[in-house]
Amino acid sequence: MLYDLRRSDARVRWLVTLLLATLGVAYVFGAWMVGMYAGFTPRSVAATYVEPTTMNMAMPAETTTVVERDVTPAEMGHEEQHQVDRALLVQDTHVHVPMYGVIAAILSVVALGLAIPRWMGFALITLLFAAPWLDFMGMWLTKLASPHFAVVTLAGGWAMGLGYTIVAALALWQMWRPAKGAQT
């Protein structure tokens, strides 16, 4: 153990607590946003990231065709499935992956201060970094290979939540649980 959160200065524990709370808020809103734009099912994630051609959508035809249908103003307001095209995914990957790396590193630093077996430390750090890899690998494989890889993105998202939950729960418990024999 490089350091021990249980015996760290109260200011360090307070910092870690606020950090975990802040990241928790970010994750909650992240999940909310995912629900709004991509959904939590393989089908909706695939519809968000897949290239149109792999969804069996029509290739540009030899002649332009026109289809008309009556709509109501309310139907005009109907939101179409949010789609992330290749250019936007390049941009998303560029912006998000470094930040996910920083967050995984910060949570890993917190994990290093936990009183857990060495193998569990390795597993936890691996999980924290594997989650964003799975997340973006799933998005790119869904786009470039097959819509079935949407499950990889879902697995990455859940792994991210799981990693955070394990670190946050263990850290908060170990930092703030009443010491044995302490007066209550």
Partner 1 sequence: MKTLILGAAAAALLHITPTVILVDRPEVVSRLLDGADRFTAREVHLSSADERRLHDAAGWTPPDDVITFYLGKRADRVEGVLVFMRVDSPHGPMEVAVGFDKAGAIRGVEVTKATVETKPWIMEALRAGLTDQYRGLASTASPAGAAAVKGKVGAMAAYMAELVDRGVTHAGAAYRLFYR
183 counts as binding partner 1 under rule CB under 8 A: no
Burial of 154 from C-beta contacts in 10 A (0-12 / 13-18 / 19+): buried
Shortest gap between Cβ of 142 and partner 1 (angstroms)? 17
b/e 38-48 (16+ beta carbons within 10 angstroms → b): bbeebebbbbb
Size of the site for partner 1 (CB under 8 A): 43
Region for 12 from its dihedrals, namely left if φ exceeds 0, alpha if ψ lies in -120 to 50, beta otherwise? alpha
Complex with partner 1: residue 57 or 182, whichever CB lies closer = 57
Contact region with partner 1 (CB under 8 A), list: 42-50, 51-59, 140-148, 164-172:
51-59
- The candidate with the shortest Cα–Cα distance to 53, out of 143, 123, 162, is 143
Shortest gap between Cβ of 2 and partner 1 (angstroms)? 14
Distance set, CA 124 to CA 20, 99, 128, 170 (Å) = 16, 18, 6, 11
Contact region with partner 1 (CB under 8 A), list: 90-98, 121-129, 145-153, 174-182:
90-98
What's the half-sphere exposure (Cβ side, CA atoms, 13 Å) at 161?
13
Which tokens go with 13?
Answer: 């524990």
Among the listed residues 1, 3, 95, 165, the single contact to partner 1 using CB under 8 A: 95
> Binding to partner 1 (CB under 8 A): which residues in 57-76?
57-58, 60-76
Among the listed residues 6, 44, 96, 172, the single contact to partner 1 using CB under 8 A: 96
Q: Where do contacts with partner 1 occur on this chain (CB under 8 A)?
A: 15, 19, 22-23, 25-26, 29-30, 33, 36-37, 52, 57-58, 60-77, 83, 85, 87-88, 91, 95-96, 99, 102-103, 106
